Amino acid sequence: MFTSPLFAVAVRAADWDPKIAIIMLVCNIIAIAFGKATIKHQNVGLGLPGNFFGGMGHGAMLGVTCFGHILGAGTILGLTNMGVL
């Protein structure tokens, strides 16, 4: 089977602490700002309450927060692998 070499790769996972939560929060804020600047039709579909979310609809907010979590997970794994976290 070709997957057996993949099991030999050891990944060091970081334990949760407030630094990791702050990194994820910052990555999501960056993703929301990036989405606000680049999404052409932000307010299509159901709206979110108030102006707290920048006038984005549910679809745009779901997309940018998914991107923010992918960005945050990559950042956390990268910093953990480098030994910073």
Q: What share of the chain is helix, strand, coil (3-state, %, to 5)?
A: 60, 0, 40
pLDDT of res. 2: 59
Tell me: the pLDDT tens digits for 64-82?
999 999 999 999 999 988 8
pTM assigned to the model? 0.77
Output the CA–CA distances (angstroms, integers) from residue 43 to 7, 30, 57, 60, 80, in the order listed. Answer: 44, 19, 4, 7, 37
Q: Which ranges of the chain have pLDDT less than 70?
A: 1-12, 50-54
Q: Which helix (H) or strand (E) holds 12?
A: none
